Amino acid sequence: MSKTVDLRIGNREMLHNKVCTVLRKAILKGDLKPGERLVQTELAEQIGVSRMPVREALRTLEIEGLVTMEPHKGAIVRTISKEDIVEIYELRAILEPMALKKGIPNFTEEDLENLKKYHQQMVETDSDEVYTELNAKFHKLLFSRTQSPRLLGFIETISLGFAQDTPLIITGQIKKSNQEHEQILQSILNQNIEQAGNHLAHHISRTGEELITSLDK
Amino acid sequence: MSKTVDLRIGNREMLHNKVCTVLRKAILKGDLKPGERLVQTELAEQIGVSRMPVREALRTLEIEGLVTMEPHKGAIVRTISKEDIVEIYELRAILEPMALKKGIPNFTEEDLENLKKYHQQMVETDSDEVYTELNAKFHKLLFSRTQSPRLLGFIETISLGFAQDTPLIITGQIKKSNQEHEQILQSILNQNIEQAGNHLAHHISRTGEELITSLDK
DNA sequence: AAAATTAATTTTATATCAATATATTGTAAC
DNA sequence: GTTACAATATATTGATATAAAATTAATTTT
């Protein structure tokens, strides 16, 4: 009998990672509201696992900035303030271009094709949902070829701890974003590393600023 | 009888934090060598705790870049390469000045007095050990007044994951460092925020570069 | 000697126990 | 009668110990 090859990738994911994903989605969707206490036993029961994976998941979420934990007191959902958003975009505007610049030499032909493809699809689509997804893929691919594990970890920590779809609140955002993506893409294709970094930094900063002003009303 | 006031701060520290400190010191000191497997049961027994705090500690150390973990395989001590050191100093040279600039408005009179005091003591001391300790305090105070929790977390993650005393390998390092500390301090006292950031960035970059070249031989 | 099966080691997850903090209730003072 | 404080009770986290899954090592068979 042929040995069962390791097909079940889904099952191989660790339990605390699954739990983390579930809780993160619940927080970002708003099912778990800011200020709400997260009782380990309750969550464990609801999700259908024991308390340990829940604990580890909460610790990860704390690092991502989605919950706060205090010894013997437990975890509560963190209220995302305007200052948080400012911080997130400030950090992204520094770290993502840094990673992009370090990673450009490592881009394969396939990577470049994918970037072009994502960009083209973003230009063409009408669906906000599809756009959000493509936008996340585009940005992720931009920074993910750097060889700096700590830098990569920091960026991913920030990205996961914040809803990806908020930028879509802004009207006219998509058109500007597409133009800026185009600039970034061209700079990369021309091997103009510095310019690519600057375009990306500007793109993120502007998005952040517009998000802030749109929240002020 | 007077109620026992909560004096026992030491005891209130969580077990996994203590374990984490112990393991971190052991790795940075070299007692646990790069490539060495870290078996949870062994460590738990040696330290005298159960396996769970050990696990949580290992996860923290993974984030700090001191160990690598793979599902169902366990943790091994990470070999710190030259690329790691380059990355660490690159990140520090970006993040610490960022935190300093954001934190300068929040400095109290006491903070400024402490910075002066640490600097003065560094100039005066002959002991490498004392100098290292003061240097860590000085840098920590520089960046710790920022109100950006994520930024602060990233900086602390980097700092903890790397031996603080390595810069002392370099001959003549202390004299140059003192001069640069002096520049940083003066810029802060003059409320020249940009300049303070630039001096700090340069200080960290130079230290990193000298460390790299000193490792090349 | 190579492959496959079994045994061991080690990690992951669950279940139990202990320590700590929160909440409720009762008592005393105003 | 109301408010503030204190003591007790409950609930929740922290730590340990035990059971299950997975990987590595070893042994046996072809």
Kindly state whether residues A167 and A65 are assigned to the same domain. Answer: no
Domain count, chain B: 2
State the pLDDT at residue B147.
Answer: 94
Q: Within this chain, do residues A67 and A117 fall inside the same structural domain, yes or no?
A: no
Per-residue pLDDT band for A162 (boundaries 50, 70, 90) equals confident
Between CA B139 and CA B100 the distance in angstroms is 9
* Residue A22 belongs to domain spanning: 9-77
What gap in Å lies between CA A57 and CA A17, rounded to an integer? Answer: 7
Interface of B with A in 48-77 (CB under 8 A): 52, 56, 59, 63, 65, 71
Quick one: average pLDDT of B26-53?
A: 90
Nucleotide nearest to B54 (CA to C1'): D15
Mean pLDDT score, A178-203: 97
Q: What is the pLDDT of residues B67-88, one digit of tens each?
A: 999 888 999 999 889 999 999 9
**CB of B91 closer than 8 Å to CB of A95:** no
Residues A177 and A204 in one domain: yes
| Shared-domain flag, residues A132 and A148 | yes
Task: For residues A54 and A115, state if they share a domain.
Answer: no
Predicted local confidence at residue A214, as pLDDT: 85
Measured distance CA(A51)–CA(B52) in Å, rounded: 12
Strand order in the sheet with A37-38: A37-38, A74-77, A67-70
B76: Cβ contacts below 8 Å, ≥ 6 apart: B35, B36, B37, B38, B67, B68
Nearest by Cα to B135 from B101, B170, B84, B104: B170
Same domain, B103 and B209: yes
pLDDT tens digits for range A82-129? 999 999 999 999 999 999 999 999 999 999 999 999 999 999 998 888
Q: How far apart are CA B29 and CA B43, in angstroms?
A: 16
Residue carrying structure tokens 């640069």: B180
pLDDT digits (tens, 9 = 90+) for B140-156: 999 999 999 999 999 99
Same domain, B181 and B206: yes
Nearest by CB to B94, which of A94, A147, A149? Answer: A94
- In a domain, residue B1? The reply is no
Q: What pLDDT is attached to residue B173?
A: 82
Q: What pLDDT score was predicted for residue B83? A: 93
User: Do A91 and A64 share a structural domain?
Assistant: no
Is the pLDDT at A24 greater than 50, yes or no?
Answer: yes
Is the per-residue pLDDT at A16 higher than 80?
yes
Domain boundary among A59, A77, A95: A77
Residue B3 lies in a domain: no
pLDDT over 70 percentage in chain B: 91
Q: Please indicate, yes or no, if residue B4 is contained in any of the structural domains.
A: no
Q: Residue A31: which CATH number?
A: 1.10.10.10
Domain boundary pick from B77, B101, B121: B77
Q: What is the pTM of this model?
A: 0.89
Residue A119's CATH number: 1.20.120.530
In a domain, A1, yes or no: no
Chain A residues within 8 A of B162 when measuring between CB atoms: none
pLDDT at B13: 72
**DSSP bridge pairs for B37:** B76
**Residue B103 · residue B143 · CB < 8 Å:** yes
Let me know whether B135 and B68 are in one domain: no
